[in-house]
């Protein structure tokens, strides 16, 4: 089978690696000069920083991400470390205690801060445990696991359609306490009013805040791990690239796809930005949904119903404004030793998100994040030095300035805010790289850069993997598995398995031929 992959991010490389390992002929096209998309690494003067996601779920033994790496034979090349993140709010800070205080130490801490919501916290954590049990059972196979899943879900069936705001109102009266659990939605640029409520416990896993929280306890199902990839996400990228090339796959750089060849509702190949034509039995596309369906496929090849259902209402995140620094001291001493800390400067998460969606850049006033990857990956900085990333959510096209004209001023403002908590960043600065949404758009080949891809929504569904065009499949951050490292890996695996199943049960006459122009 001849397979063309569009995009060399994690999803594209995973699909390419899996197909190549099965003996199919794979060609990966990447519009940029290097592979990896926003999971690549930036390097300068001995410092390294990730473009994208930092704290990653499901990469421990027996979990979905690790299982895919094992399937490909590259598990030993991707090492992780469990760690924790700090959270700062204007009136309190959530810091990991020096001595472990139990699985639910945060619950007890919140009871002291918000005694009026003590019963509500008990209510929330009962839901929390049930949701994590359901999530674990969902990834298990077999009749018994399906049966357990059904019985675990029945008590919260009526809450299935709740928004995050409805869940918060059900549990808590204090808006500050609500913000503790919904503040992470700033990363998604999704209002608590439209984000599914029952996902809130999964993105607020207690092990994120204290790596000593066990993943297996009591009669509960295994909880997903959260970890950092040692030496950055490029380790996964490089391992996947190796599988593609070792199995005779080809990766073509600096070459975008400008059109798909479609005949009678079936994909036949691609036309590149260099006007070269390549035939294929299957095309697996990653990247932007609008770019794929409106530009590469074309409205004449898909129904208006599909466009109205999946493309017009496409719900994605916004972008980010990011400053990478190389410094000659250890800034983690100001973060309780943590590599990662979220600093929230407002409790009105809904208003902050709404302003960003309107194009108003908050200049850091609503919050920022500081990540020091060299804490757990010393090789990402020279000896005795550290790599630091300071970033915040930001609109693609701000209405209160432009990235071209204002990025230096906005960078200084963001560092002013960061240095209130981590003094000395600029005093010890050796290297600086500023990345704006324009840089991310160029890297990801998107008109609208969505840092987290599509986002769960109580009413809007993301585009499915299986497209209306026969032989064309859609993967990546804007597909039905949403954004994130594990969504990219599992979505690609699901699609490859579906393609292989269809080829076995249906089109069995596909042959292994060389690519032709």
Are 236 and 221 members of one domain?
no
Question: What distance in Å separates the CA atoms of residue 21 and residue 43, rounded to the nearest whole number?
Answer: 30
**Tokens, residue 92:** 């309190």
Question: What distance in Å separates the CA atoms of residue 123 and residue 140, rounded to the nearest whole number?
Answer: 27
Are 361 and 374 members of one domain?
yes
Question: What is the DSSP-derived secondary structure letter of residue 195?
Answer: S
Question: What distance in Å separates the CA atoms of residue 119 and residue 498, rounded to the nearest whole number?
Answer: 46
pLDDT for position 515: 38
Question: What distance in Å separates the CA atoms of residue 111 and residue 376, rounded to the nearest whole number?
Answer: 32
Q: 516 lies in a domain?
A: no
* Domain enclosing residue 161, as ranges: 103-226
Q: 285 lies in a domain?
A: yes
Domain count, the chain: 3
Are 250 and 332 members of one domain?
no
Q: 422 lies in a domain?
A: yes
Q: 513 lies in a domain?
A: no
Are 297 and 279 members of one domain?
yes
**Phi, psi (rounded to 5 degrees) for 159:** -95, 0
Are 244 and 339 members of one domain?
no
Q: Which of 54, 52, 50, 10 is nearest to 30 (CA)?
A: 10
CA 101, chain centre distance (Å): 30
Are 326 and 305 members of one domain?
no
* 254-to-35, 160, 322, 449 alpha-carbon distances in Å: 10, 45, 25, 19
**Tokens, residue 183:** 């503040």
Question: What distance in Å separates the CA atoms of residue 395 and residue 375, rounded to the nearest whole number?
Answer: 30
pLDDT for position 33: 96
From the CB of residue 399, how many other CB atoms can be counted at a distance below 10 Å?
11
pLDDT for position 330: 97
* 108-to-90, 117, 120 alpha-carbon distances in Å: 20, 11, 12
Q: 57 lies in a domain?
A: no
Place of tokens 């409520």: 197
From the CB of residue 45, how many other CB atoms can be counted at a distance below 10 Å?
10
| pLDDT tens by residue, the chain, 517 residues | 999 999 999 999 999 999 999 999 999 999 999 999 999 999 999 999 998 768 999 999 999 999 999 999 999 999 999 989 999 999 999 999 999 999 999 999 999 999 999 999 999 999 999 999 999 998 888 888 889 889 888 989 999 999 999 999 999 999 999 999 999 999 999 999 999 999 999 999 999 999 999 999 999 999 999 999 999 999 999 999 999 999 999 999 999 999 999 999 999 999 999 999 999 999 999 999 999 999 999 999 999 999 999 999 999 999 999 999 999 999 999 999 999 999 999 999 999 999 999 999 999 999 999 999 999 999 999 999 999 999 999 999 999 999 999 999 999 999 999 999 999 999 999 999 999 999 999 999 999 999 999 999 999 999 999 999 999 999 999 999 999 999 999 999 999 999 999 988 875 333 333 333 3
Are 249 and 154 members of one domain?
no
Among 226, 258, 280, the domain boundary falls at 226
Beta strands at 319-327 and 257-263: parallel, antiparallel or unpaired: unpaired
Concatenating the DSSP letter of every residue in 111-176 gives HHH-GGGHHHHHHHHHHHHHHHHHHHHHT--SHHHHHHHHHHHGGGGGGTT-BHHHHHHHH-S-HH
Are 310 and 329 members of one domain?
no
Q: 332 lies in a domain?
A: yes
Among 398, 420, 444, the domain boundary falls at 444
Supply the CATH number for residue 270's domain.
3.50.50.60
| Residues 50 and 389 sit within 8 Å (Cβ to Cβ) | yes
Are 115 and 218 members of one domain?
yes
Q: Which of 200, 172, 179 is nearest to 88 (CA)?
A: 179
**Tokens, residue 326:** 């190389």
Beta bridge partners of 466: 473
Among 226, 247, 281, the domain boundary falls at 226
Are 330 and 436 members of one domain?
yes
Task: Please name the residues in contact with 397: beta carbons below 8 A apart, sequence gap of 6 or more.
Answer: 359, 437
Q: 454 lies in a domain?
A: no
pLDDT for position 507: 53
pLDDT for position 508: 38
Beta strands at 85-89 and 340-344: parallel, antiparallel or unpaired: parallel
Instruction: Give the CA-trace dihedral at 383, 385, 387, 391, to 10 degrees.
Output: 170
Are 222 and 262 members of one domain?
no
| Residues 348 and 182 sit within 8 Å (Cβ to Cβ) | no
Question: What distance in Å separates the CA atoms of residue 243 and residue 8, rounded to the nearest whole number?
Answer: 13
Are 283 and 378 members of one domain?
no
Question: What distance in Å separates the CA atoms of residue 449 and residue 189, rounded to the nearest whole number?
Answer: 13
Supply the CATH number for residue 381's domain.
3.30.70
Q: 190 lies in a domain?
A: yes
């Amino acid at each position: 089978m001849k397979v063309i992959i569009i995009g060399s991010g994690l999803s594209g490389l995973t699909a390419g690696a899996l197909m190549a390992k099965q003996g199919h002929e794979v060609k990966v096209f990447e519009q940029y000069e290097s592979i990896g998309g926003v999971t690549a690494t930036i390097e300068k003067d001995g410092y390294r920083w990730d473009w994208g996601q930092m704290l990653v779920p499901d990469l421990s033994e027996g979990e979905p991400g690790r299982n895919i790496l094992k399937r490909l034979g590259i598990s030993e090349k991707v090492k992780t470390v469990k760690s924790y993140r700090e959270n700062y709010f204007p009136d309190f800070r959530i810091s990991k205690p020096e001595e472990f205080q139990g699985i639910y130490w945060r619950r007890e801490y919140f009871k002291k801060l918000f005694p009026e919501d003590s019963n509500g916290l008990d209510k929330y954590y009962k839901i929390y445990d049930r949701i994590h049990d359901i999530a674990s059972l969902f990834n298990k196979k077999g009749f018994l696991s399906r049966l357990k899943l059904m019985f675990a879900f029945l008590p919260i069936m009526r809450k299935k359609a709740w928004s995050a705001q409805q869940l918060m109102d059900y549990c808590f009266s204090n808006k500050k306490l609500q913000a503790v659990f919904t503040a992470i939605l700033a990363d998604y640029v999704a209002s608590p009013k439209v984000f599914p409520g029952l996902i809130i416990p999964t993105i607020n896993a207690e092990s994120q805040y204290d790596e000593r929280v066990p993943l297996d306890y009591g009669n509960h199902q295994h909880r997903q791990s959260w970890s950092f990839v040692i030496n950055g996400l490029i380790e996964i990228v490089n391992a996947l690239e190796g599988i593609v090339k070792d199995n005779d796959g080809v990766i073509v750089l600096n070459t975008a796809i400008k059109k798909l060849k479609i005949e009678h509702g079936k994909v036949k190949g691609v036309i590149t930005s260099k006007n070269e034509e390549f035939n294929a039995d299957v095309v697996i596309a990653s990247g932007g949904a609008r770019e794929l369906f409106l530009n590469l496929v074309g409205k004449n090849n898909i129904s208006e119903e599909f466009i109205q259902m999946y493309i017009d209402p496409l719900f994605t995140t916004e972008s980010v404004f990011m400053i990478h620094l190389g410094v000659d001291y250890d800034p983690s001493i100001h973060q309780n030793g943590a590599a990662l800390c979220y600093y929230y400067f407002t409790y009105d998460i809904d208003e902050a998100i709404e302003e960003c969606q309107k194009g108003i850049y908050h200049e850091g006033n609503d919050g920022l994040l500081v990540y020091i990857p060299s804490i757990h990956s010393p090789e990402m900085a020279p000896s005795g030095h550290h790599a630091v990333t300071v970033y915040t959510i930001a609109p693609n096209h701000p209405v209160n300035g432009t990235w071209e004209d204002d990025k230096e001023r906005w960078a200084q403002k963001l560092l002013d805010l960061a240095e209130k908590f981590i003094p000395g960043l600029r005093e010890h600065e050796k290297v600086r790289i500023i990345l704006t949404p324009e840089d991310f758009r160029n890297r990801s080949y998107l008109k609208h850069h969505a840092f987290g891809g599509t986002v769960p929504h109580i009413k809007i569904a993301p585009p499915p993997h299986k497209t209306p065009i026969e032989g064309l499949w859609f993967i990546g951050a804007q597909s039905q598995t949403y954004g994130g490292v594990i969504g990219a890996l599992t979505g690609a695996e699901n699609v490859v398995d579906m393609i292989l199943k269809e080829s076995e049960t249906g089109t069995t006459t596909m042959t292994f031929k060389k690519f032709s122009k």
